[in-house]
Structure 1
């Protein structure tokens, strides 16, 4: 009770950090984190590749456990499946890349002949000799080999450090024997975190399955077309088409450039045009018409965000970052957005457009105009 003449001391106001300062701190933390990832790209890339492969074969362990097999049996099956993928793909790439490096020098005379024709055409168009020399002095078969080596270096670099990747896969496979029990505890204690991790695993696995199936189809068709056209090393270019199918938006362009250039050196401009046309038709029909009808959107990311993730992760992790751009973005999304129920509304802004079935489901869930409940609802 306040006595007459006694004044009350106002309660101190709760101190809070200004929203602008929070944004600045978040940006600073992001810059430091990105710098750290770029500095340790040689470790983070293989680590995340091992995680993706472990997630891809986790259903094998789950299938074995449901059949009553020992946990170690499922672990051995999953680890063996991953090793077959790594050894088969890495061996085929290494052998094909060696064949390419040994054959390209044979086309030096053909390249010089093409350059002479190009030089004559530019001179006839009124271009000075100095400008022609400056434009063509950097074109060399050896540099073409270097560009192709750099293109495949991000993938082959992982296989050069195969012991590290295999060790990670083995440890993750052992941990995968008890992942169901661990996730049940997380679901009980922190359901939001369990939801985010589960959505990340499901989205990543769906993306890998879709990209693998349709990448294999594209690789077979591209390789068969190159073999019929007589383009050298069709197996290498088929493997390149398969790998670049994991690169969103621009994977097709990366995959068509090397065989088109080799077709130019081997058979002239006509063969190069045929390669470009056939690649374009195959990839357009499969990736733009057939694939969406069967699988729809595989990961729930908008086209703009997918392209930006490709640019960002390529800059941070190199060639391997381009291949793993979508799964890496799904992991960041799970840790920063899906993990907090109050921020999941961001999915509406960064996700892919709703399908017709999703729109119909959403319309059925909304009450009709006027606030009256929908028929059949209490």
Structure 2
């Protein structure tokens, strides 16, 4: 007598196993997030190694060129961010009088609305410039702590790039033995690179436009807010909402509600048109994920891995899709449900073509 496991029980066991894996990933987020970041950076700079090898350069030169590219970009971003946030920490105390006047206006407005003075005092007493400055100092400390993680990421990147020098022959073996697995990883790599290119290009455009608008409006530290716009562009769907809060708050202190509304309006026009209308079309075509799946991936990976998970939400979803769906031909039909266009997924190509029929002689 042949016993078969009911399909419902299989689904239940798979769901329970998935919960255990997610809980474990969240517990080790401090290690996994830098590992995933190093993996994405390795995928991004792998073409540099291929370009050097294609021009006759040795493998070690391609490795050095790829590492130099990543190190240069990361060091420039971290240095600019540390310098800009340090400037913000020195600028904020100068707005103590403006913040006090703003709180007085709010207190008067609430009193005119019939709210008791005790409740007003209890609510507004929690707002203090000293606490804001302390929060900025905490951000600075967190950024300095990021430097140690950056060293870990660069070490991982070096080892992964070293292994990448021989990835071609190894993938050729995988393609010959397991073409479905090779095709799944190739789809992940191509989608990740396309997503990073699209997000970087649109992020640069958004950063230039936002920074120029803030400079024309006279908002302090426009370069910092442009850098924030560039980084938050990698956060799908809600990145610009996160990026507009700091400059809008500083504009409120600098020029009052009118300047703050101008900043919000300009950000909405620029970022909604580019990030919510134009960019999703290119991202969807590049990675094959629907807008809903992209947003849910942001929520999920941000909850599991924190800030880095939100930044890497789309590449991580592509990796999970490759490992769980694309790797198995029987589950590839799910691509039609989660893809941007709903097109039928292509089967991976194999090295062995079917032999043509032989003519009978």
1:334 aligned to 2:322? yes
Give the 3 Å change call, closer, same or farther, for CA 328–293 of structure 1 in structure 2.
closer
After superposition, the C-alpha distances for 1:169-197 in whole angstroms (9 at most, x for unaligned) are 11011111111111111100110100110
Paired residue for 1:298?
286
Q: 2:191 aligns with which of 203, 208, 225?
A: 203
C-alpha displacement of 1:125: 1.2
Cα distance in 1 for residues equivalent to 2:26 and 2:65: 34
Cα distance in 1 for residues equivalent to 2:109 and 2:240: 30
Contact 1:90–1:156 (Cα < 8 Å) also in 2: no
Contact 2:93–2:129 (Cα < 8 Å) also in 1: yes
- Larger mean Cα displacement after TM superposition, 69-78 or 253-262: 69-78
Q: 2:269 aligns with which of 257, 274, 281?
A: 281
- Larger mean Cα displacement after TM superposition, 156-165 or 311-320: 156-165
Q: How many residues align?
A: 345
Paired residue for 2:71?
83
TM-score (norm 2): 0.90
Gaps of 5+ in 1: 1-12, 363-378
Contact 2:198–2:282 (Cα < 8 Å) also in 1: no
SS of the residue corresponding to residue 19 of structure 2 reads helix
Give the 3 Å change call, closer, same or farther, for CA 53–105 of structure 1 in structure 2.
same
C-alpha displacement of 1:203: 0.4
Q: 2:20 aligns with which of 32, 45, 54?
A: 32
Contact 1:51–1:172 (Cα < 8 Å) also in 2: yes
SS of the residue corresponding to residue 126 of structure 1 reads coil
Paired residue for 1:64?
52
TM-score (norm 1): 0.86
Contact 1:247–1:323 (Cα < 8 Å) also in 2: yes
Cα distance in 2 for residues equivalent to 1:245 and 1:219: 9
Paired residue for 1:232?
220
Cα distance in 2 for residues equivalent to 1:88 and 1:119: 44
Gaps of 5+ in 2: 347-361
Contact 1:151–1:319 (Cα < 8 Å) also in 2: no
Contact 1:211–1:245 (Cα < 8 Å) also in 2: yes
Rg comparison, structure with higher value: 1
Q: 1:310 aligns with which of 292, 298, 302?
A: 298
Cα distance in 2 for residues equivalent to 1:173 and 1:22: 39
- Larger mean Cα displacement after TM superposition, 141-150 or 308-317: 141-150
Contact 1:310–1:322 (Cα < 8 Å) also in 2: yes
Give the 3 Å change call, closer, same or farther, for CA 326–293 of structure 1 in structure 2.
closer
Contact 1:47–1:168 (Cα < 8 Å) also in 2: yes
Q: What CA RMSD, in Å, does the superposition of the two structures yield over aligned residues?
A: 2.2
C-alpha displacement of 1:148: 6.2
Paired residue for 2:92?
104
SS of the residue corresponding to residue 297 of structure 1 reads helix
- Larger mean Cα displacement after TM superposition, 80-89 or 106-115: 106-115
Give the 3 Å change call, closer, same or farther, for CA 18–156 of structure 1 in structure 2.
farther
SS of the residue corresponding to residue 26 of structure 2 reads helix
SS of the residue corresponding to residue 161 of structure 1 reads helix
Q: 1:49 aligns with which of 25, 28, 37?
A: 37
1:267 aligned to 2:255? yes
Q: 1:14 aligns with which of 2, 26, 43?
A: 2
After superposition, the C-alpha distances for 1:118-174 in whole angstroms (9 at most, x for unaligned) are 110111111112332333233233444566678898876543322211111110111
